[in-house]
Structure 1
Amino acid sequence: MGADDYITKPFSPRQLIARIKALFRRSDLINSSESLTTGPFKINDIDYTVLFNNQNLLLTVTEYQLFTILLGRPAKVFTRDELATIAFTKYYEGYNRSIDSHIKNIRSKIANYTSYDHIKTIRGIGYQYCDQESCE
């Protein structure tokens, strides 16, 4: 029916506000078109694939969500908590360092096709998408 989240009773107002904010962030990040092209990457929302120079990266669902978030706003630095809140549509109470494992997996899959690291680590903060033209 189009729902992507729900809250069971009883719930706290804090939880409701957090979910509403996450919904707004997701709606801002999702491109209205069915594909997004940034540099050598093409994201196809119909079949949930990420292509690097027409080579499929074979990302998991979580990796796909995280990479789509990063590609959607290349200049923005995302904290681990922001990535977890946006990527995991259900209420997330896990360890935010699990994002690091997913980013490591994405990097290794990209490394099969290029030596350039497109995901920049901002030490102590989080991650940012970076292409060769915009980063040093």
Structure 2
Amino acid sequence: MSAVNVLVVEDEDAIREMLGLVLEQANFVVRAVADAHQAQAALSESQPDLILLDWMLPGLSGVEWARRLKKDRQYGDVPIIMITARGEEEDKIKGLEVGADDYVTKPFSPRELIARIKAVLRRSNKYGKSGRIEIGGIVLDVDEHRVSISDKHVVLSPTEYRLLEFFLTHPGKVYSRSQLLDQVWGRSSFIEERTVDVHIRRLRKVLAEHNREEFIQTVRGFGYRFSEQT
């Protein structure tokens, strides 16, 4: 298995050094920078497998840089874990809404951090699947990890991609939030059920740009269904 590259973006020197040490001890290849501008420069040199990004940064904030990054066709599928001192539910949801795949709240243990990183990396893998899935003009190429709708390339986050893949391979069936968490995020995930609603909303927004938002249907009192039939 090839080395996993992690880009750490943290403005506090002591925390940045600690994160680098913890990640290197876990056998990750680490590049650490102090702000979003340095991080953007690092991306242009080499694309990481995951970004560990502080919420509050000098100049361009981490949450705003994450928002821009997820809209970038070249880097939009790079997983992002936000580091935040904010514990309020609203702030956590905001981080997920801008495209972050997970978050850790300071203070956190090295063990928790590594567990979250590994969970996000597992969720972003292809799991050895191959082939092409197509429903209602939505085409998912598992081999190339690409999605297109009506022959137009669609940029999705790793979580949105996995969610769409699950829906496309299980059309017509109703799944509860807990079932979707198990199937898409994994049983060992730290994610709360409300996170499913956040990612469903983001995926619907992408599909709406191609007039396919009605494919994801809310089944009141239970969960969600993916179907061409309205």
What is the TM-score normalised by the length of structure 2?
A: 0.42
1:60/1:116 Cα in 2 relative to 1: closer, same or farther (>3 Å)?
A: closer
Offset at residue 130 of structure 1 (A): 1.5
Identify unmatched segments of 5+ residues in structure 1.
2-29
Residues matched between the structures, number? 105
Structure 2 residue 189 is the aligned partner of structure 1 residue 92: yes
Deviations 1:99-125 (A, max 9, x none): 111010111111112165110011111
When structure 1 is superposed on structure 2, of 47-56 and 60-69 the one drifting more is 47-56
Cross-structure match for 1:102: 199
* SS of residue matched to 2:190: coil
Cross-structure match for 2:170: 73
1:39/1:103 Cα in 2 relative to 1: closer, same or farther (>3 Å)?
A: same
Deviations 1:41-73 (A, max 9, x none): 111112222211111221110011111111111
* Structure with greater Cα Rg: 2
Structure 2 residue 220 is the aligned partner of structure 1 residue 128: no
Higher relative contact order (CA 8 A, sep 6+): 1
Higher strand residue share? 2
- Distance in 2, matches of 1:100 and 1:49, equals 23
Cross-structure match for 2:155: 58
Give the partner amino acid of 1:130: S
RMSD: 2.1
- Distance in 1, matches of 2:131 and 2:208, equals 26
Identify unmatched segments of 5+ residues in structure 2.
2-126
Q: Identity over the aligned pairs, expressed in percent? A: 26
* SS of residue matched to 2:214: coil
* SS of residue matched to 1:117: helix
Tell me, yes or no, if the aligned pair for 2:147 and 2:155 is still in contact at 8 Å.
yes
- Distance in 1, matches of 2:188 and 2:179, equals 13
What is the TM-score normalised by the length of structure 1?
A: 0.69
- Distance in 1, matches of 2:130 and 2:221, equals 33
Cross-structure match for 2:142: 45
* SS of residue matched to 2:189: coil
Tell me, yes or no, if the aligned pair for 2:171 and 2:225 is still in contact at 8 Å.
yes
Offset at residue 90 of structure 1 (A): 6.1
1:90/1:115 Cα in 2 relative to 1: closer, same or farther (>3 Å)?
A: closer
Structure 2 residue 216 is the aligned partner of structure 1 residue 119: yes
In the TM superposition, structure 1's runs of 4+ consecutive aligned residues that sit over 4 Å from their partners are: none
1:126/1:91 Cα in 2 relative to 1: closer, same or farther (>3 Å)?
A: same
